[in-house]
């Protein structure tokens, strides 16, 4: 157990790191951010920052020597860097968790291996193998880079008329950088949900309620809690997240995104860190995802994840952030801004939580 006053090293300098650093400060910890970006959202609120590339071994080593534990708000960092850090300091979650999360194919293999369903998928390594995979999976389908894709980047939908060569070249550079791609059957889902589960160093765990996520232009737009699904389905979703965290031996958080289909749940992807779909917990739960993350990573007892209010979280993307005045004129709206100077299109600038008493308790 790491006592308050210790220093938590966080890899990544974005808004997830910022909100984790604020939660760490509340519990009396210091935070050291490692990020290639100077003065990013996380560095603005942290005691110390190292600005260097994730593959800069000298900087990684110096960072690891200066902190008491390392965790991540961004998981795509080189294996050698994680190994080097782990030789100096506890790294939570450990490399084997990140390794699975970095690669969509490893991720799907993992879920399938523990009996959890995903969309049908095939690994593709060439245009020929894409054609063969399409013949098996059928259309429509989605071609994704196996690595480094997020918010719909590195994805191409293949409809009834799409020339596979076109989809292949659309992702050309991405596929080359990622090594391989994955072809998934397109799921006509009823909706998308996610569950965030925390797991402590002692194997204790706590899951937040499943939430309902709506995406716009492939970027999360709103999260609604509770998700409008049956208690049985909610239980099943929490069970999936817990089984995955247990099988991987996660220490920290695991967010699992799932499609709700008429025949049950299919896992889409996972992230071993705080997640955008957990931002509602900041104003609607006894313990929010960032505090829970810090507790888990520092070996503290987990807090109660119970939802005391219903909530809708809305992301403020790009120019949406100019509405801050209007948002604040509603005294019940809880505004969270990330300190980013430039509101580029598609950039997550902040979010607003709107909470109300639980409908099932009024
Ligand atoms: P991802 O980067 O895998 O999270 O994909 C971003 C979004 O694209 C998802 O949240 C879905 O809305 C959509 N999407 C991804 N994969 C599929 C699929 N196989 N079928 C239907 N929609 C998908």
Q: Are residues 197 and 179 in the same domain?
A: no
Q: What was the pLDDT predicted at 53?
A: 98
Domain boundary among 130, 151, 185: 185
- Would you say residue 175 has pLDDT above 90? no
Q: Based on the fold, state whether residues 17 and 146 are members of the same structural domain.
A: no
Contact 292, 198 (CB under 8 A): yes
Question: Do 130 and 243 lie in a common domain?
Answer: no
Are residue 232 and residue 159 in the same domain, yes or no?
no
- Does residue 153 register a pLDDT over 80? no
Query: Predicted confidence band at 174 (pLDDT cuts at 50, 70, 90)?
Result: low
Q: Is 186 in the pocket of ligand 1 (CB under 6 A)?
A: yes
102, 142, 220, best to mutate for ligand 1 pocket (most atoms within 8 Å of CB): 142
How confident is the model over 180-238, as pLDDT tens digits?
899 999 999 999 999 999 999 999 999 999 999 999 999 999 999 999 999 999 999 99
Q: Give yes or no for residue 141 CB within 6 A of ligand 1.
A: no
Helices 289-297 + 15-26 axis angle, to 10? 70
- Taking residues 331-341, report their average pLDDT: 97
Output the average pLDDT for the chain: 96
Strand partners, 315: 351
Q: What is the pLDDT of residue 176?
A: 65
d(CA 264, CA 287): 29
Cβ pair 8, 67 in contact under 8 A: yes
CA 33 to chain centre: 18
Ligand 1 pocket test: pick from 218, 256, 270, 315 the residue with the most ligand atoms within 8 Å of its Cβ. Answer: 218
User: Is the model's pLDDT at 159 over the cut of 70?
Assistant: yes
CB 107 near ligand 1, within 6 Å: no
CB atoms within 10 A of CB 22: 18
Of 256, 227, 11, the C-alpha closest to 111 is 256
Centre of ligand 1 from the C-alpha of residue 268, in Å: 7
Type and span of the H or E element at 197: strand 191-199
Within 151-288, residue ranges assigned H as helices are 164-170, 172-178, 231-248, 281-284
pLDDT in tens, 85-138: 999 999 999 999 999 999 999 999 999 999 999 999 999 999 999 999 999 999
**Domain extent at residue 26:** 7-91
Q: Where residue 172 falls among pLDDT bands split at 50, 70, 90? A: confident
Residue 22, in any domain of the structure: yes
DSSP state of 114: T
3-state secondary structure of 331: coil
Say if strands 69-72 and 155-158 run parallel, antiparallel, or are unpaired. unpaired
pLDDT at 177 over 70: no
Q: Is residue 353 part of a domain?
A: yes
> Which atom of ligand 1 lies closest to the CA of 119?
19
- Whether residue 65 has its Cβ less than 6 Å from ligand 1: no
- What is the tally of structural domains in the chain? 3
Q: Are residues 223 and 309 in the same domain?
A: yes
How many other C-beta atoms are found inside a 10 Å radius of the C-beta of residue 301?
A: 11
Q: 218: Cβ below 6 Å to ligand 1? A: yes
Q: What is the pLDDT of residues 50-98, one digit of tens each?
A: 999 999 999 999 999 999 999 999 999 999 999 999 999 999 999 999 9
Token representation of residue 243: 């089984």
Cα(25) to centroid(ligand 1), Å: 35
Check if 191 has its Cβ closer than 6 Å to any atom of ligand 1.
no
Helices 231-248, 104-113: crossing angle, 10 deg rounding: 110
Are 199 and 219 in the same domain? yes
Measured from the Cβ of residue 163, the count of other Cβ atoms closer than 10 Å reads: 9
Q: Residue 31 CB: number of other CB atoms within 10 A? A: 26
- Residue 181: beta bridge partners? 124, 145
Residue 150 has pLDDT above 70, yes or no: no
* Pairing outcome for strands 252-261 and 264-271: antiparallel
Most distant pair of Cα atoms in the chain: their distance: 60
Average pLDDT, stretch 274-285?
A: 98
Q: Which of 208, 178, 176 is nearest to 194 (CA)?
A: 208
Note the pLDDT tens digit of each residue in 287-324. Answer: 999 999 999 999 999 999 999 999 999 999 999 999 99
Question: 134 phi and psi, to 5 degrees?
Answer: -65, -40
Residue to mutate (ligand 1; options 152, 157, 255, 346; most atoms within 8 A of CB): 152
Instruction: Decide whether any atom of ligand 1 lies within 6 Å of the 192 Cβ.
Output: yes
Supply the pLDDT for residue 169: 87
Q: Could you tell me the CATH number of the domain that includes residue 72? A: 3.40.50.20
Q: Atom 11, ligand 1: which residue's CA is nearest?
A: 218
150 Cα nearest atom in ligand 1 = 2
Cβ neighbours of 3 (radius 10 Å): 11
Residue closest via CA to ligand 1's atom 6 equals 152
Q: How many Cα atoms within 13 Å fall on the side-chain side of residue 12?
A: 19
Domain closes at, from 185, 218, 242: 185
Note the pLDDT of residue 151.
65
């Amino acid at each position: 157990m790491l006592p308050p006053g210790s220093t938590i090293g966080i890899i990544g300098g974005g808004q997830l790191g910022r909100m984790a650093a604020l939660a760490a400060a509340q519990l009396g910890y210091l935070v050291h951010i490692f990020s290639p970006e100077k003065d990013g959202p996380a560095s603005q609120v942290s005691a110390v920052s190292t600005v260097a590339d994730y593959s800069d071994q000298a900087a990684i080593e110096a960072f690891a020597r200066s902190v008491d534990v390392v965790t991540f708000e961004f998981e795509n960092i080189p294996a050698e860097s994680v190994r080097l850090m782990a030789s100096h300091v506890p790294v939570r979650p450990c490399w084997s968790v990140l390794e699975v999360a970095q690669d969509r194919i490893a991720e799907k293999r993992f879920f399938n291996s523990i009996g959890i369903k995903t969309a049908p998928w095939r690994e593709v390594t060439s245009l020929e193998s894409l054609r063969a995979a399409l013949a098996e999976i059928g259309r429509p389908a989605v071609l994704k880079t196996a690595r480094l894709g997020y918010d719909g980047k590195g994805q191409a939908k293949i409809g009834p008329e799409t020339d596979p060569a076109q989809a292949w070249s659309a992702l050309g550079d991405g596929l080359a950088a990622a090594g391989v791609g994955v072809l998934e059957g397109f799921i006509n889902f009823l909706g998308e949900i996610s569950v965030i589960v925390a797991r402590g160093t002692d194997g204790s765990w706590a899951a937040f309620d499943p939430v309902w996520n709506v995406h716009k232009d492939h970027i999360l737009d709103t999260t609604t809690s509770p998700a409008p699904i049956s208690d049985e389905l909610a239980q099943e979703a929490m069970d999936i997240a817990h089984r995955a965290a247990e099988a991987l031996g996660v220490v920290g958080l695991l967010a699992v995104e799932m499609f709700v289909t008429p025949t049950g749940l299919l896992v889409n992807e996972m992230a071993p860190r705080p997640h955008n779909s957990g931002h509602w917990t900041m104003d609607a739960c006894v313990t929010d995802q960032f505090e829970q993350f810090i507790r888990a990573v520092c070996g503290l007892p987990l807090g109660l994840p119970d939802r005391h209010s219903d909530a809708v979280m809305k992301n403020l993307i790009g120019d949406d952030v100019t509405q801050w005045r209007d948002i604040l004129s509603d005294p019940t709206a809880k505004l969270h801004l990330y300190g980013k100077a430039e509101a580029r299109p598609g950039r997550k600038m902040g979010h607003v939580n709107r909470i109300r008493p639980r409908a099932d308790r009024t």
